[in-house]
Amino acid sequence: MKMAFRVLVFYALIHTNHFTLAQGAASDWRTFRGNNGTATSTEKGFPSKWSSTENILWKTELPGAGSSTPIIVGQKVFVTCYSGYNMPNQARGKQEDLKMHLVCLDRSSGKILWKQDLTPKLPEQENIRDGHGYASSSPVADDTHVFAFFGKSGVYAFDHAGKKLWQADVGDKLSGWGSAASLLLFDDYLIVNASVESERLYALDKKTGKEVWHVNGIREAWNTPVLARVGDSTELVVPILGKILGIDPKTGKELWSCTSEIQSYMVPSPVVNEGIVYIIGGRTNGGLAIKLGGRGDVTKTHRLWTIKKGGNVSSPIYHDGYLYWMHDNTGVAYCVDAKTGNIVYEERIPRADQVYGSPVLAEGKIYYPARNGTTYVVAAKPKFELLETNSWGERGTYNASPALAGKHIFLRTDRFVCCVGNK
């Protein structure tokens, strides 16, 4: 979730060998997992504690439901949603009344500045399992454009004032899990994981929406791929059923593949640090680390370790030599030695609900968002410590990932967005 429900992205810090995706101020959060794709903010001053009466700066009801992560560019917050059909806690209605929306809010007040209503291509999926709906893919933005993805209804580009610039189709297939992979930017390309819609990965010209290249065989991949700098080149890493692919983002050419031993769909997005990509996923739960830069089948040469622990939905975080994540159904928080794959801790958090949104990290604290609206704040260190258990009291389902920007935490239910900050 993306994000919500099935997703991840990648940007660049030179000292960690990542590639620059979307140029932006540190106080922006321009993609599903932030400007640098690590779900980490280097800013200081984020709140650790909040409630319905404490540190809630504003909250805004959206014109529809959804589970995409809000993104922040300058003074604007962009988020997608849908309305008119199969809304949570409402009568199902008729598919012909279904609408998709891109909404722009004022960052300071939460006021809705504009809303673009889009007519979907029907028929849509009648039921979406786990109720995350028809707006799960998080948008991505640069200085002048914002891009949104609505599955079989396609990819849309707008300027920051809400003017529609183009629309592109990437397939028309459906799935009972819906669509969820989020968008990412590479130079002048918009990368789209259309595994559900066409079992393809696309690069579109971000100015025109025209196809630059596509890759076939992207099966069972609900994740958002990751971009990583490797020497003077860049690799696009995509987990699929049974293997991990490394692709040249300029041409779409496959550079390498690695057997994952995870024979299930891949939802969590990878994370990269210093030339190594870390992946978890699959209903059977597994994980692995791969050294980047190989060619051909690198299973025997570049696969560093594998484990039988993992998670099925939420994406991991890398911090100071360790990987952190929370299992989607058990409420178990994991810490793994990134060098060896050894489990450092696995701790069950009492009363932890399902966790579909991916965590974020700031100031040595990891924020894990549960579906019931509780956010668990855990110390980012190899000894488990639960620091805070927070809820802002709004009813609804929380499938989206938090966003960190300008000392504020942006949270999203299926109907509301709120801004949390120290008062």
Give the chain's radius of gyration (CA, Å).
19
| Alpha-carbon 49 to chain mean position | 24
Nearest to 116 by CA among 157, 144, 84: 157
Helix or strand holding residue 197 (H, E):
helix 195-198
Which residues of 84-154 form beta strands (DSSP E)?
Answer: 99-106, 112-118, 140-141, 145-149
Nearest to 130 by CA among 65, 191, 77: 65
**Which two structure tokens, joined as six digits, stand for 136?**
């799960």
| Alpha-carbon 252 to chain mean position | 22
Classify residue 4: in a domain, yes or no. no
Nearest to 341 by CA among 312, 304, 381: 304
Which residues of 40-95 form beta strands (DSSP E)?
Answer: 40-41, 56-61, 71-73, 76-83
For residue 15, with 0-12 CB atoms within 10 Å meaning exposed, 13-18 middle and 19 or more buried, which class applies?
A: exposed
Phi, psi of 286 (to 5 degrees): -160, 165
Beta strand 360-362 pairing with 40-41: parallel
pLDDT at 132: 86
| Alpha-carbon 26 to chain mean position | 18
267 pairs with which residues across the strands? none
Classify residue 227: in a domain, yes or no. yes
Q: Are 22 and 30 in contact (CB under 8 A)?
A: yes
Nearest to 391 by CA among 406, 404, 379, 376: 376
Sign of CA dihedral 250, 251, 256, 258: positive
Q: Are 316 and 324 in contact (CB under 8 A)?
A: yes
Classify residue 2: in a domain, yes or no. no
Tens digits of pLDDT across the chain (423 residues): 444 433 333 232 223 333 334 445 668 999 999 988 899 999 999 999 999 999 999 999 999 999 999 999 999 999 999 999 999 989 999 999 999 999 999 999 999 999 999 999 999 999 888 888 999 999 999 999 999 999 999 999 999 999 999 999 999 999 999 998 999 999 999 999 999 999 999 999 999 999 999 999 999 999 999 999 999 999 999 999 999 999 999 999 999 999 999 989 999 999 999 999 999 999 888 999 999 999 999 999 999 999 999 999 999 999 999 999 999 999 999 999 999 999 999 999 988 879 999 999 999 999 999 999 999 999 999 999 999 999 988 888 899 999 999 999 999 999 999 999 999
Domain total in the chain: 1
The pLDDT tens digits of the residues spanning 137-166 come to: 999 999 999 999 999 999 999 999 999 999
Nearest to 243 by CA among 209, 203, 288: 288
pLDDT at 19: 36
- Whether omega for the bond prior to residue 63 falls within 30 degrees of 0, making it cis, is no
d(Cα 410, Cα 403) in Å, to the nearest integer? 5
d(Cα 249, Cα 154) in Å, to the nearest integer? 21
pTM summary value: 0.93
348 pairs with which residues across the strands? 332
Helix or strand holding residue 365 (H, E):
strand 365-369
Classify residue 70: in a domain, yes or no. yes
Classify residue 189: in a domain, yes or no. yes
Distance between start and end Cα atoms, the chain? 28
Q: Which residues contact 213 (CB under 8 A, 6 or more apart)?
A: 202, 203, 251, 252
d(Cα 107, Cα 166) in Å, to the nearest integer? 26
pLDDT at 9: 31
pLDDT at 350: 85
Only one residue has tokens 């004022």, namely: 106
Nearest to 151 by CA among 176, 170, 167, 164: 170
Q: Which residues contact 220 (CB under 8 A, 6 or more apart)?
A: 195, 240, 241, 264, 265, 266
Kindly state the DSSP code that residue 50 receives in the 8-state scheme. Answer: -
For residue 26, with 0-12 CB atoms within 10 Å meaning exposed, 13-18 middle and 19 or more buried, which class applies?
A: middle
Classify residue 26: in a domain, yes or no. yes
pLDDT at 156: 98
d(Cα 266, Cα 282) in Å, to the nearest integer? 5
Q: Are 194 and 201 in contact (CB under 8 A)?
A: yes
Q: Centre a 10 Å sphere on the Cβ of residue 383 and count the other Cβ atoms it contains.
A: 9
Classify residue 130: in a domain, yes or no. yes
Supply the CATH number for residue 248's domain. 2.130.10.10
Classify residue 113: in a domain, yes or no. yes
Nearest to 402 by CA among 365, 353, 349, 352: 365
Domain that holds residue 376: 14-420
